[in-house]
Amino acid sequence: QLQLVESGGGLVQAGGSLRLSCAASGHNLEYYTIGWFRQAPGKEREGISYISSGDTSGHYADSVQGRFTISRDDVKNTVYLQMDSLKPEDTAVYYCAADELGASLEGVHYDYWGQGTQVTVSS
With bands split at pLDDT 50, 70 and 90, how would you rate the model's confidence at 67? very high
pLDDT tens profile 103-115: 889 998 899 999 9
Which candidate, 88, 96, 83, places its Cα nearest to that of 35?
96
3-state secondary structure of 100: coil
Per-residue model confidence (pLDDT) at position 105? 92
Mean pLDDT taken over the chain: 95
Instruction: Write the DSSP assignment of 6-68 as a string of letters.
Output: EE--EEEETT--EEEEEEEESS-STTSEEEEEEE-TTS--EEEEEE-TT-SS-EE-TTTTTTE
Per-residue model confidence (pLDDT) at position 112? 96
Residue 98 CA to residue 85 CA, distance in Å, equals 26
Dihedrals φ, ψ of 107, to 5°?
-65, -25
Residue 110 CA to residue 19 CA, distance in Å, equals 22
Statement: residue 30 has pLDDT above 90: no
